[in-house]
Amino acid sequence: MDKTRLRILSEIDAWIKDPDAQPVCWITGMAGTGKTAIAKTVCERASADVDIMLGGSFFCSRTGTATQRDIRCVVPTLAQLLSRQSIEFSRALVDEITRDRDLQHKNVTVQVKRLLYTPLVALKNSQKSVLLIIDALDECGGETSSLNEENHRAVSELLEALVTASPSSVKLPVKFLVTSRPETHIRDTSVSDEDLSQILRLHAVNKEEVDEDIHHYITETLNARLSRKPILRARFTDDDIVSLVRLCDGLFIVAATVLKHTFGAGIDAADLMFKNLLNASSDGLDANAAAPLDRIYDNILKDATSTNKPGTIKLSALLKLLASILCARITLSIAAVAALLSQDSSTVRASLSRLHAIVDVPAGDHEPNLRTVHASFGDYLFSRAPKHIRIARSLGHCIMVHACLDIMDEQLHFNISQSATSYKPNLSTNSESITLALEYACLHWAHHLISCETSDKSAPKTSDLSLEISRKFRPNFLAWLEVLSILHKVGLASGLLLIASAAVSRLPYLP
């Protein structure tokens, strides 16, 4: 939509026209962040710009035609399209094909060198920037829709070739714009090296900027669809639009699907459909509106737990990890989650390596930004996922309360602040010994306890909780108070104890 993504489009335009910029720009973002819309807009803008030659574009699609998902078709297609734009490139390409008529069937590394970079030398003196676009590369595999390791390897080889195969002796006026989700086999290539590629991470864009664009998109869509119904349009207040923007949480696909759902029953019913959706938003997206997201989640989880891929973790272990992240009361770090679940940080990171499209995994182990990309993923796992994936809402709370009690038992001890004397105020004490995992456990264990339903058969046995509290919390009570005091949260102690007392009273009696 016009007047959205202005800063990003401006950055891309500057990169295309900068002769000294890296040859590859990687636009990466989680599912639903608008990568394809940006790629399409860049195509349209480049076609109308006299300083840019749009050589060609290839929009990959797992659910499209066989050609759209075949990695071997990408480079030959771009070469053919560019040959239509430049007679010089066309002649040089003919020379290469004449030498080897099977070039289009070679591996992608050879394709990039012989079908693109070698004939592109003929354009070394071009005054225009040549732009080639590959969208949704993560959805490109082989002739089938199955994205196996062999196909992933071919995608990785293509990216390595695009980034590194340019002849160092000649400065070529070519730019490759590539978009994809941050999948492992793509992140592990040179395209993720900021010294070699220009990188735009859509899920890291300032939230206010994204919300403003989504607000504009919703407003203009309503104005256009209801231009002949001013009375009906007036029923959609700005507060309603702000509520929908909040529900979108940075995902353009949510706004698009909600508006599609709004007008699905006709214009006259749009107001009622919209209001009903907003009223139900506290319980998650309507099932029909969430369907496109659910299909994305289905594919990602299926790919992440595929048994024919090396390093794949068991589905049950992955679901327990996701349940813990989803029920966490604040965003934690990789290190904190690992400590709470008695795992190594590397194990947690490896478990999430195939889920970067739906889980925001921070680069550092101690950055407290681990979260799912959108609240609808939790709703999907809790209520709409297939039965073998669906989990109870209380599972994460039951896992986390056991984890909190374990951490407090392991790390709480007398004089945890390492104070030289009890007469000094807390401001002069040392709080560095209090890890994020311990801080989280001390502040939130009672809330997880009250949310842990004893009837959930998939959760750890709650009949052991009362005994665990007696063994692991009560002996460390004073040290727990000391931590709260250091954190300037001692005023929460009585409330947390009351919550825990109410929860314990519901547990089965233990002699």
- What letters, b where the CB count within 10 A reaches 16 and e where it falls short, cover 216-233? bbbeebbeebbeeeeeee
Token pair for residue 73?
């078709």
Q: Which amino acid is at 315?
A: L
| Residues in contact with 204: Cβ distance below 8 Å, sequence separation at least 6, in sequence order | none
- Give the three-state DSSP class for 55: strand
- Work out whether strand 129-135 and strand 371-372 pair parallel, antiparallel, or are unpaired: unpaired
Amino acid 430: pLDDT: 56
Helix intervals (H) in 165-251:
184-187, 207-225, 230-234, 238-248
Residues pairing with 200 in the sheet: 27
Amino acid 509: pLDDT: 46
Amino acid 511: pLDDT: 39
| CATH-assigned architecture of domain 6-204 | 3-Layer(aba) Sandwich (3.40)
- Work out whether strand 198-201 and strand 174-180 pair parallel, antiparallel, or are unpaired: unpaired
CA atoms within a 13 Å half-sphere pointing along the CA-CB vector of 110: 11
Amino acid 400: pLDDT: 96
Q: Which amino acid is at 465?
A: L
Amino acid 262: pLDDT: 87
CA angle 373, 292, 374 (to 5 degrees): 15
Cα gap 200→179, rounded to integer Å: 9
108 neighbors 72 (Cβ within 8 angstroms):
yes
CA atoms within a 13 Å half-sphere pointing along the CA-CB vector of 388: 6
Cα gap 163→34, rounded to integer Å: 24
Cα gap 23→19, rounded to integer Å: 9
Token pair for residue 102?
């099977």
Amino acid 461: pLDDT: 52
Amino acid 95: pLDDT: 95
Residues pairing with 57 in the sheet: 133
Host H or E run for residue 38: helix 35-47
Cα gap 451→399, rounded to integer Å: 11
Amino acid 155: pLDDT: 93
Q: Nearest-CA neighbor of 27 among 174, 144, 179?
A: 179
Ranges of residues in the chain with a pLDDT under 70 are: 141-148, 280-286, 288-289, 306-313, 424-431, 453-463, 507-511
Amino acid 510: pLDDT: 42
Q: Nearest-CA neighbor of 3 among 212, 204, 200, 208?
A: 212
**What tens digit of pLDDT does each residue of 22-53 get?**
999 999 988 778 999 999 999 999 999 999 99
Residues in the chain: 511
Cα gap 207→116, rounded to integer Å: 38
Amino acid 276: pLDDT: 78
Token pair for residue 152?
């992933």
Cα gap 291→287, rounded to integer Å: 6
Domain coordinates in residue numbering, the chain: 6-204, 207-283, 297-384, 394-504
